[in-house]
Structure 1
C-alpha cells in the first residue's frame, strides 16, 4: 500500500506555484503520499510545441510561470480522467467558470472516499444568488471539499518568500492531512473550521483589489488606497453577515482575510487590471489577452455575480464600493466616479 495519491486540476500561474510545493512535499513526507503528482494541463501550443511536453521535459510552466522549476514528481497530463484516476486528494485551481464542466466530466470516475480542496477565488452563479465553489464541487462529486485561501501571490510563493495561508475545512482530520500536504517552512498553514467565510474572503478581496487599482490609475496616493481597503473590508464583513450567517469575525483576521486583501490590493493581478481599466479604456476581454495571455481575471466576474445578487435584493446602495467597481468594469460609469463613491460611502454618515 502506497501513500495517498494527489492530483492537481489546473496548471496556470497559481496552479504551477502550488505544484512546486506539493511536488516537493510528496517526496519529503515519507510514505504519507504517493511520490507522483498528476497535474491536469489543458493542451495548448507554445512556440509550435505542446505545452505538456515542454513541462514534462523542462519541469517548468514556461507560459504561465516561467523561470520556476517544479519537482520531477509532478507530471503534466492533458487528459482529465487520466489525471484524476485513483486519486485520493484533488486540488482544484482553475478559473471558477470551468469548475462545473470539469466536475461533470469527473463524475463516476473518482474514489468515493476521496477529498478535495479548492484554491479557486470566485463564486458560481446560481438560480438564486451565488454559490460557493467548494459547495458545488462537493455536491457534484459527492465528496468533502475544503478550501485554501491566503495572501499568496504566486510568483512570491514560487520564489519561496515567506507567507501564510488559511485552510478552511469542516472536517478536522481532513484539515490535518491538508496541512501536511501544503505546509513548508516558507508556506505556513493555519486550519480553521469557518470554511465558508474563508472562501468568501478569497473571492471578495479580488473585487476590492480592482478598486485599489482604480485609485492607482486615477493618480491617487496611499491614503486613498487605504480608504479603499478599509471600506472594502467593511463591505466584505457586511456581505458575510447578510449572505453567510455564522461568519466568525476572527476569520477576517486570518491570512485569507485582511492579509490577502492587503497583498492583492498592492501586488495582485486584479489591482493591475483596475489601473489598466482607467488608463487604457480597453475592455476586460482585451486586457485579459494583453496582460494574462488569455487567462481570466476573476475579480470582474465576481463583481458581476455579486452585483446580480445585490440588485435582486435591492441592496446595491448598501454596498456602494462593490457596485461601483462592477459598473466601472462593465463601462457603465466613468472611473472618475469612484472617488465620489468613496467620499459619500454610508460608512461615513
Structure 2
C-alpha cells in the first residue's frame, strides 16, 4: 500500500526506506528541493545520514497533494514546532479529497505555550473521525542504528487498538519490532520529556562525571517523568516500558542523540546559541524543557532535574551550582512517585 512520510530528516528518511523494504510504496515529503533532488537522483541524504544508501524506490517530493494522494497512512516525522502548520495543510488536502487515511506520528515533543501533546494538536486540526485514528510511534530508536538494521523495538499507541495493530503490521520485519499500547498520554510524555533528561546526561558527560552519576540521573529522571505523567492520567507502567525507561536509556547514553550532544557541548563550556547553530538540526529537548517547566508548575508536580536543566538553558544558571542544588535537597522516599 502507499504510505506518505512527512519529513525528510534522518528519522523520516530511514522509516521511508524501511517501509519500502517491507514492500510498500512510499512518497517522502519535505521542504527542501536540493534534499529531494539528492534523494531522487543520488539516493542519499548526506546532511542527515552521511553513510546511508536510500532504496531507489523511495520517491521524494515537495508536492504535498501528490504525496498524500491515495495514501493509506500518513506518517508525521517533523519537528514539534512545525506540527500544527503542517497538520493544517494536510487536513485541508484531505478535506478536499475526502480521503480518510490512518494518521501516525513519530514526533516527540510538547507544543510551546499551549504545552499540548502531538495527539492534542492533531485533535485540534483534524475532524474527530480522523483524529481518533491517530497512532503514536515512540521508543528507543536512533535513525543511524535502524539504518544498519540494528534490532529495534518500539511502541505504537492509539485509543483504537485496531489502528495500532495496523501500524504494527506495516512496520514490523526481521529487525524492527513494535508493541501496541492504549496509553497515548504516557507514551507521548515519555517520548517528549526524556529529551530534557538527555540534555542533562550530556552535560554530565561533558563535565567528566562517571557512570554512577549517569545512572542516578536516568533513574531519578524517569521518576519525575512518571510523576508528571501520572498527574496527567498516564498509566504508571508505561514509563517502565519502551517509550519510558527504554527511550530514556538510549537517548541518555548515545552519541547519536542530538539532545545528548547538545548537553555534552554545554558541559564543555559552549554557549547554547552556538551549540544549536552548529548542530544544524532541531534539538527537541530545548523547547520541551521550557514547556515542561511551565506544565509542571501548572500541575504542581516537582521535577527538580528538569527544573535545573531549564535554568541552565533559559536562565544561564551555573551547571555546578545546579548540581549542588540537586544534591543538597532534603532526603526523599525513593518510591513516592505520586508527589515527591
Work out the CA distance in 2 between the residues paired with 1:223 and 1:230: 11
Work out the CA distance in 2 between the residues paired with 1:306 and 1:234: 14
Q: Report the 3-state secondary structure (helix = DSSP H, G, I; strand = E; otherwise coil) of the residue aligned with 2:55.
A: coil
Work out the CA distance in 2 between the residues paired with 1:87 and 1:141: 16
**Residue equivalent to 1:309:** 295
Instruction: Name which of 7, 19, 24 aligns with 1:22.
Output: 19
**Residue equivalent to 2:336:** none
Work out the CA distance in 1 between the residues paired with 2:331 and 2:168: 38
Deviation at 1:347, TM superposition (A): 6.0
**Residue equivalent to 1:133:** 118
The structure-2 alpha-carbon separation of the partners of 1:312 and 1:108, relative to structure 1 and needing over 3 Å to count, comes to same
Instruction: Name which of 73, 82, 88 aligns with 2:72.
Output: 88
Deviation at 1:305, TM superposition (A): 1.0
Deviation at 1:344, TM superposition (A): 3.1
Work out the CA distance in 2 between the residues paired with 1:288 and 1:15: 21
Residue 287 (1) aligns with residue 281 (2):
no
User: Do 2:193 and 2:292's aligned partners in 1 also have CA atoms closer than 8 Å?
Assistant: no
**Residue equivalent to 1:54:** 38
Deviation at 1:88, TM superposition (A): 2.2
User: Do 1:168 and 1:196's aligned partners in 2 also have CA atoms closer than 8 Å?
Assistant: no
Q: Report the 3-state secondary structure (helix = DSSP H, G, I; strand = E; otherwise coil) of the residue aligned with 1:151.
A: coil
**Residue equivalent to 2:91:** 107
Work out the CA distance in 2 between the residues paired with 1:171 and 1:153: 27
User: Do 1:320 and 1:341's aligned partners in 2 also have CA atoms closer than 8 Å?
Assistant: no
Residue 79 (1) aligns with residue 68 (2):
no
**Residue equivalent to 2:109:** 122
Deviation at 1:308, TM superposition (A): 2.0
Residue 205 (1) aligns with residue 202 (2):
no
Structure 1 unaligned regions, length at least 5: 28-34, 45-49
User: Do 2:185 and 2:229's aligned partners in 1 also have CA atoms closer than 8 Å?
Assistant: no
Work out the CA distance in 2 between the residues paired with 1:229 and 1:124: 24
**Residue equivalent to 2:337:** none
**Residue equivalent to 2:306:** 322
The structure-2 alpha-carbon separation of the partners of 1:131 and 1:279, relative to structure 1 and needing over 3 Å to count, comes to same
Work out the CA distance in 2 between the residues paired with 1:271 and 1:52: 28
**Residue equivalent to 2:203:** 214
Deviation at 1:112, TM superposition (A): 4.4
Deviation at 1:314, TM superposition (A): 5.5
Query: Scaled by the length of structure 1, what TM-score is found?
Result: 0.88
Work out the CA distance in 2 between the residues paired with 1:210 and 1:346: 24
The structure-2 alpha-carbon separation of the partners of 1:189 and 1:314, relative to structure 1 and needing over 3 Å to count, comes to closer
The structure-2 alpha-carbon separation of the partners of 1:325 and 1:116, relative to structure 1 and needing over 3 Å to count, comes to same
Instruction: For residues 163-196 of structure 1, give each alpha carbon's deviation from its aligned partner in whole angstroms, at most 9, with x where no partner exists.
Output: 2111111112111210111112111111111122
**Residue equivalent to 1:341:** 325
Query: Scaled by the length of structure 2, what TM-score is found?
Result: 0.90
Deviation at 1:22, TM superposition (A): 1.1
Deviation at 1:53, TM superposition (A): 1.1
**Residue equivalent to 1:300:** 286
Q: Report the 3-state secondary structure (helix = DSSP H, G, I; strand = E; otherwise coil) of the residue aligned with 2:252.
A: helix
Instruction: Name which of 233, 238, 249 aligns with 1:262.
Output: 249
Q: Report the 3-state secondary structure (helix = DSSP H, G, I; strand = E; otherwise coil) of the residue aligned with 1:66.
A: coil
Deviation at 1:346, TM superposition (A): 5.2
Instruction: For residues 138-163 of structure 1, give each alpha carbon's deviation from its aligned partner in whole angstroms, at most 9, with x where no partner exists.
Output: 33122121111111011011111112
User: Do 2:230 and 2:236's aligned partners in 1 also have CA atoms closer than 8 Å?
Assistant: no
Work out the CA distance in 1 between the residues paired with 2:327 and 2:136: 35
Structure 2 unaligned regions, length at least 5: 334-340
